A = this chain, B = another copy of it.
Amino acid sequence: MDAAEFRRRGKEMVDLIADYLENIEQRPVYPDVEPGYLRSLIPEEAPEEPETYEDVVKDIERVIMPGVTHWHSPYFYAYFPTANSFPAMLADMLSGAIGCIGFSWAASPACTELETVMMDWLGKMLKLPEDFIAGTHGQGGGVIQGTASEATLVALLAARSRAVRMILASDPQRPETDITSKLVAYSSDQAHCSVERAGMIAGVRMKKIPTEQSDKYAVQGETLRRMIQEDKAAGLIPFYFCATLGTTPSCAFDHITELGPICNAEKIWMHIDAAYAGSSFICPEFRPLLNGIEVRNQPQIHTHTHTHTLQLPVKLSVNILVFTPIIICHWQIPLGRRFRSLKMWFVFRMYGLKGLQDYIRKHVELAKEFESLVRADQRFEISADVVLGLVCFRLKGSNEVNETLLKRINNGRKIHLVPCQLSGQFVLRFAVCARTTESRHIREAWRLITQLAEEVMQELPN
């Protein structure tokens, strides 16, 4: 394919994409295929000779679309949003064409530099303290991580390295492996599984801090303090705590103002995982959820210039972005990186801060609308505070009846939800996800849910 054909095919692809997104709600949001469905639809080997583009494009509908879960359908309420937008797609096209690998400044200066400034823009939108910003003289600054799981891991590795150095400074003869074997990290029992996984990768002990429904699933300072003291008494070295702002099961919030000072006093690295909720902090009304970020013990950062110094991962709803103040070059697991900041640049400018705030507020309003519908129905209950775009709810009744309801919902393929466990209860998660979700989709979803709930309840033995 030469440039001339690319001009033609690229424009056809733009139309194909626009058609797909304009008509996405006509498609079943969740696919009706069995594992292994795709293999029989295509050859067992790559072709020897080139095929025509027409043949390839025809197969998108025949092979791919039947197996796609449509994350950008307004009827998609599962997991959390993976935001997408037209400006982001345009920027990504450009990023693909430039196709540089930004592993160093010289490898493509614009790639490193735009990212640094875009992370500053984001930091300012989030009203982060000044020392999180790179600026022209700053020691702060951030990088985009590919995923939230990588941000957690990189922070953990940085904390591990810092802890080893701190101990070696006062006890230079102690073997590093002896130190590592005594390290202990903490996270909430509500934390994402990638936190536990980070501990496994880094080869350190990771303890889960129990939380209670009565505390709104937030880690209690008293519990953290007690666990730290017990572990220290047992000869362990507490070194890392992963707080969560917006947990995956129920969007619960740890209180940084309470937990930060404990970590500072104990010289524990506090990492804040705000992979879902972080983007909302660009709205003044949600920014208080991030209060406590200023308790960061600044001198600790600046004396550990040979470690990673990640602090705050934030996934913005317009794309996966993770904010982290950084001092040196080893800020990520992979060495190579795409020119991802172009997406931020396009999106920030085409939406403007106000547009992004409106985007987030609309999702929160839609969640509140869904919450009202649930609350108005005596058969249902709300299982956790609705703070942002996630509503946790269930039928008053057994786990079994709720499992059956969810199965019916997903089998219908009109809307898609996933469950969570809260205090032993099987709970349905309704997350407002798509850019195009409107009030009518919410009401339609609720109509479907109540209709299926009625069916399920009628089938119950009296």
Report the separation of the CA atoms of residues A248 and B52 in the bound assembly, to the nearest whole angstrom.
36
Nearest CB to that of A9 among chain B residues?
A: B90
Give every chain B residue within 8 A of A11 (Cβ-Cβ): 10-11, 14
Nearest CB to that of A35 among chain B residues?
A: B105
Give every chain B residue within 8 A of A69 (Cβ-Cβ): 100, 106-109
Nearest CB to that of A147 among chain B residues?
A: B334
- Please encode chain A, from 56 to 77, with 1 for each CB lying within 8 Å of some chain B CB and 0 for all others: 1000100111111111100000
Known: A69-B108, A92-B93. 10 other contacts (CB 8 A): A1-B86, A3-B18, A11-B11, A17-B93, A31-B110, A35-B113, A44-B120, A64-B110, A147-B335, A197-B330
Nearest CB to that of A71 among chain B residues?
A: B100
Instruction: Assess whether A50 is in contact with B352, with CB atoms less than 8 Å apart.
Output: yes
A interface secondary structure, majority: helix
Within the complex, which residue of B17, B96, B202, B203 is in contact with A10, where a contact is CB–CB below 8 Å? Answer: B17
> Any chain B CB within 8 A of the CB of A288?
no
Residues of A within 8 A of B (CB): 1-7, 9-11, 13-18, 20-22, 31, 33, 35-39, 42, 44-51, 53, 55-56, 60, 63-72, 79, 82, 84-90, 92-94, 96-101, 105-111, 113-114, 116-117, 120-122, 124-125, 136, 146-150, 153, 157, 160, 175, 177-178, 180-181, 193-194, 197, 201-203, 320, 330, 333-336, 342, 345-346, 348-355
Give every chain B residue within 8 A of A51 (Cβ-Cβ): 349-350, 352
A-B contact pairs, 25 of them (CB 8 A): A1-B87, A7-B15, A7-B18, A10-B11, A10-B89, A11-B11, A39-B136, A48-B353, A51-B349, A56-B87, A65-B110, A66-B110, A69-B100, A69-B108, A69-B109, A70-B98, A70-B100, A71-B100, A79-B107, A82-B336, A84-B97, A149-B335, A153-B333, A177-B177, A177-B181
Nearest CB to that of A82 among chain B residues?
A: B101
Instruction: Assess whether B203 is in contact with A38, with CB atoms less than 8 Å apart.
Output: no
Q: Taking the nearest CB of chain B, how far is it from the CB of A384, in angstroms?
A: 23
Give every chain B residue within 8 A of A93 (Cβ-Cβ): 10, 13-14, 17, 89, 92-93, 96
Instruction: Assess whether A60 is in contact with B355, with CB atoms less than 8 Å apart.
Output: no
Instruction: Assess whether B333 is in contact with A149, with CB atoms less than 8 Å apart.
Output: yes
Top 5 A-B pairs ranked by shortest CB distance? A67-B110, A177-B181, A10-B14, A38-B113, A147-B334
Within the complex, which residue of B89, B105, B203 is in contact with A97, where a contact is CB–CB below 8 Å? Answer: B89
Instruction: Assess whether B201 is in contact with A333, with CB atoms less than 8 Å apart.
Output: yes
Q: Taking the nearest CB of chain B, how far is it from the CB of A147, in angstroms?
A: 4
Nearest CB to that of A51 among chain B residues?
A: B349
Instruction: Assess whether A17 is in contact with B180, with CB atoms less than 8 Å apart.
Output: no
Q: Taking the nearest CB of chain B, how far is it from the CB of A434, in angstroms?
A: 10
Give every chain B residue within 8 A of A6 (Cβ-Cβ): 14, 17-18, 86, 89-90
Q: Taking the nearest CB of chain B, how far is it from the CB of A106, in angstroms?
A: 7
Nearest CB to that of A113 among chain B residues?
A: B38
Q: Taking the nearest CB of chain B, how far is it from the CB of A422, in angstroms?
A: 21
Give every chain B residue within 8 A of A336 (Cβ-Cβ): 82, 146-149, 320
Instruction: Assess whether A68 is in contact with B110, with CB atoms less than 8 Å apart.
Output: yes
Q: Taking the nearest CB of chain B, how far is it from the CB of A195, in angstroms?
A: 11
